[in-house]
Structure 1
Amino acid sequence: MKKTYVLDTNVLLHDPLSLFQFEEHDVVIPAIVLEELDGKKRNMDEVGRNARETSRVLDQLRTSGKLHDGVPLENGGRLFVEIGHEHQVDIPFDVMTNDNRILLVALKLMKQYEHDAGRKVVVVSKDILVRVKADAIGIDAEDYLTDHIVDTTDLYAGYREIEVDQSLIDEFYKVRQLPTTALTKQVLYPNSFVVLKSNVSKASALAVVDSLQPILRPLALDADHIWGIHPRNVQQRMALDLLLRDDIPFVTLLGKAGTGKTLLALAAGLSLVEDEQRYNKLVVARPVVPMGNDIGYLPGEMEEKLRPWMQPIYDNLEFLFNANSKDELGNILAGMKSIQLEALTYIRGRSMPDQFIIIDEAQNLTKHEIKTILTRVGENSKIVLVGDPYQIDHPYLDEYSNGLTYAVERFKGQNVFGHVQLVKGERSSLARLAADLL
């Protein structure tokens, strides 16, 4: 069945190349969408960038013909900019908002194709209420799912539990290695972890897949504590191993609130920068949600402007330094020139060599923003992305399409990459229960 997809503005602001993702079907852009794109194009953030990129794509397509008459797309469909009013229909909403104008275009097209049984009109929007209103007035509506990476239930966890014969566990402890072919026919990615569990006793062993050969070996750094932080569960031990290894320049840590991912990353960074001096600087950054929003409207100097956004980082640093007040922590940081806290707004165009970089709340970044950040990493630097894909504040992202999930899925299997999904909350019993129940 031939379909006509009517795109909401937020789809184009989310993915400027979405025009080409509807196979052989037609794509319609209502005129009001162009007006909304025009209003966003001057924004100096990801939304503005996507508005400008969409404009360039439409301008290029314009060379193939008149957009209101329809121009061919490379996949066999056609693109139309809908400006006609020849099929006036009523819409059961009192206020003619921009969203309702988009729905009106869909209704006009349905009226136009009412005698064509082989034609279906579908509104595509990332706005839930637009989809609800469309359904209420009899219009088929869909979310834009083309850029969804993976169902979070299938998201790469970075470790696997495998039940084995007791003899394999004994051999691992004796020889301190084990071929992966002795365990499973399934793929075990480099730098991933395996928890070996005996099939006859409570014996177990924690191993990591070597990055260069198909063997399991003990953790390179069996850290008992670092900067006063003791790993409280097996996933935290895995995370510390990845954070402290020199041969893994890219690490991602996922987990619910209270699993300790940010605290572990900060403790490892402080140890490697201050104690071992493997890196010249510890850089900690968080997106001002959404990334790129100007913080200039906040009063005060740059540090004062950043304080509200960076407060969770300050809270963790106060714990690590055992500081009793904001002033005490400020004096400590002032004396340690190697620690830098900043927003991600100004990272584009920079080069960052010899630094330990922590990006907190990375689930609020788009795929393009993750690429921008990772391409800033210089020689002898290490970058750690930390976040919870279930707590997203960005209006156009979800747990399936955010940049953090995208990075995990694209980098798994690479020798320079390590990942752990932390599952057990350690902040407090109340916090753990709230994360599970709420």
Structure 2
Amino acid sequence: MKKLFILDTNVLLHDPQSLFRFQEHEVVLPLLVIEELDEQKRRMDEVGRNARRVAKALDQLRQSGKLHEGIPTPGGGFLRVELAIDLPKIPEIKSHKADNSILALAKMYADKYPEREVTLVTKDIYLRIKADALGIKTEDYKTDRVNVEEMYSGTTTLKVAGDQIDRFYQEGQLVDFTGGELVANQFVTLLCEETGQSALGRFDHSKKAIVPLRYGNKDAFGIRARNKEQRFAMELLFDPNIKLVTLVGQAGTGKTLLAVAAGLEQVVETEDYKKLLVTRPIVPLGNDIGFLPGEKDEKLRPWMSPIYDNIEYILSGVKEGKKEKDSKPTSIETTLRYFKERGQLELEAITYIRGRSIPHQFVIVDEAQNLTPHEVKTILTRVGEGTKIVLTGDPFQVDHPYLDSNSNGLTFVAEKFKDQPIAGHVVFTKGERSELAELAATII
């Protein structure tokens, strides 16, 4: 028998296509959900756009029938808008919140169709808790979820014989290896337990061989890798054939610092890209910054402080003469302004990325774990010819109210692109900010 799914508003705002993700089963939209979507439609951020997309989809469906009677969906399912207003009261709940009306509707359906599996689908954890307490079957929206505990790490270790490591260095590749199937751009630590020899390499999908790192020891504006994961990251950040890089790790592991340094190096020094564009979610739902005082740069400064901190740290090396050129100003603030005036550096709110075409740029999206899979897709589809995009973040530090470590855009993209030759992924494990920072991240 076909299952019946009742969708909460936040599911539709998270993924407008969720209307059609339940295959042959029946989907019910409470009228209250339609009203809540209507309240969001004028917003100019991703939430408002998703509300309008749902409205257009429903409007198109109603051309073939009456929504309150139910309409077949392309996947063989059935969609209906429930008009019931006089819902049964739940004695355990006294308030008149919208969530409680949705609970009442779910309970009404469960009582009305005991032979069917009725499920309330919501991304609201507290609503799921209340539903469970009332004996109502409930679950999170699972379509775009990734099990972060089993997430692709981008690296592996292979045990080999000592002569294989010698041949790896002599021939510049290793073809006859065992230990499991590797994916494109997966990093490998070759280890000989007998001799203690080791070597770092990357799986070249086109050659079907493990090859040595080419850019692992690269100097980027005076910044160099301090551990093997950072060397792996440098390899991806400087390889022109890699168009998408995902760097995952807790605070202090150096993912953002390396990305910014690599971007500056390839924009300012080698001029491989025309501009370094750095962006990050302003607030969890991507709201506008118009309420802040001042010009755009002044509005952005509080939200972009971590990026400024990294840039200032990098440029402090320039000022101290590590990479100083007489033709460039040495004051950090002046240098920042100099790069911006030349069009080499842009710090932008992620709200304004949509609708742009971004060619020949080095793009960094920081704190990408606070983006939905749909928002990350929107950003990736803005990428023009010759552009490299880097997503950084920590999936265990999600601030978005309806996302978690398994459902955010960063982990979703890393998992979906793990076998693509133009993409690479690294999970950072070692903190490099300071001894105290690493210790705090570990024991607290």
TM > 0.5 fold call: yes
Letter in 2 for 1:43: R
Please report the TM-score for the alignment, with normalisation by the length of structure 1. Answer: 0.92
Q: Give the CA deviation at 1:254.
A: 1.2
Match of 1:247 in 2: 241
Match of 1:399 in 2: 405
2:168 is aligned with 1:172: yes
Instruction: Check 1:176–1:58 CA distance in 2 against 1; reply closer, same or farther (3 A cut).
Output: same
| Residues 397-416 of structure 1: per-residue CA shift (max 9 Å, x gap) | 22222222222222222222
Match of 1:286 in 2: 280
Match of 1:264 in 2: 258
Which structure 1 segments of 5+ residues have no match?
none
Q: Give the CA deviation at 1:291.
A: 5.6
Letter in 2 for 1:349: G
Match of 1:84 in 2: 84
| Residues 371-417 of structure 1: per-residue CA shift (max 9 Å, x gap) | 22222222222221111122112223222222222222222222222
2:127 to 123, 126, 130: 130
1:363 to 359, 369, 373: 369
2:31–2:83 Cα contact (<8 Å) kept: yes
Match of 1:389 in 2: 395
Match of 1:427 in 2: 433
Match of 1:195 in 2: 189
| Residues 276-334 of structure 1: per-residue CA shift (max 9 Å, x gap) | 22222221111212464110100111111000110000111121112899x95322211
1:347 to 348, 353, 373: 353
Work out the CA distance in 1 between the residues paired with 2:91 and 2:443: 41
Match of 2:442 in 1: 436
1:291–1:345 Cα contact (<8 Å) kept: no
SS of the residue 1:248 aligns to? coil
Match of 1:218 in 2: 212
SS of the residue 1:212 aligns to? coil
| Residues 174-198 of structure 1: per-residue CA shift (max 9 Å, x gap) | 222111xx22263222222110000
Match of 1:308 in 2: 302
Letter in 2 for 1:342: E
Work out the CA distance in 1 between the residues paired with 2:237 and 2:356: 23
Which structure 2 segments of 5+ residues have no match?
320-329
Instruction: Check 1:85–1:98 CA distance in 2 against 1; reply closer, same or farther (3 A cut).
Output: closer
Letter in 2 for 1:18: S
Identity of aligned residues (%): 53
Work out the CA distance in 1 between the residues paired with 2:310 and 2:86: 62
Instruction: Check 1:187–1:51 CA distance in 2 against 1; reply closer, same or farther (3 A cut).
Output: same
2:330 is aligned with 1:333: no
| Residues 214-245 of structure 1: per-residue CA shift (max 9 Å, x gap) | 11221112426432223111000111121122
Letter in 1 for 2:429: V
Work out the CA distance in 1 between the residues paired with 2:308 and 2:102: 45
1:253–1:261 Cα contact (<8 Å) kept: yes
Work out the CA distance in 2 between the residues paired with 1:190 and 1:339: 31
Instruction: Check 1:90–1:243 CA distance in 2 against 1; reply closer, same or farther (3 A cut).
Output: closer
2:184–2:421 Cα contact (<8 Å) kept: yes
2:222–2:318 Cα contact (<8 Å) kept: no
Letter in 2 for 1:141: T
Match of 2:142 in 1: 145
Work out the CA distance in 2 between the residues paired with 1:60 and 1:437: 54
Letter in 1 for 2:59: D
| Residues 104-142 of structure 1: per-residue CA shift (max 9 Å, x gap) | 1122223323xxx42232211110111111122221211
Deviating more after overlay: 347-356 vs 299-308: 347-356
Match of 1:22 in 2: 22
Instruction: Check 1:212–1:76 CA distance in 2 against 1; reply closer, same or farther (3 A cut).
Output: closer
2:382 is aligned with 1:376: yes
Aligned length: 431
Letter in 2 for 1:422: F
Letter in 2 for 1:58: L
Q: Give the CA deviation at 1:87.
A: 6.3
Work out the CA distance in 2 between the residues paired with 1:17 and 1:221: 41
Match of 1:9 in 2: 9
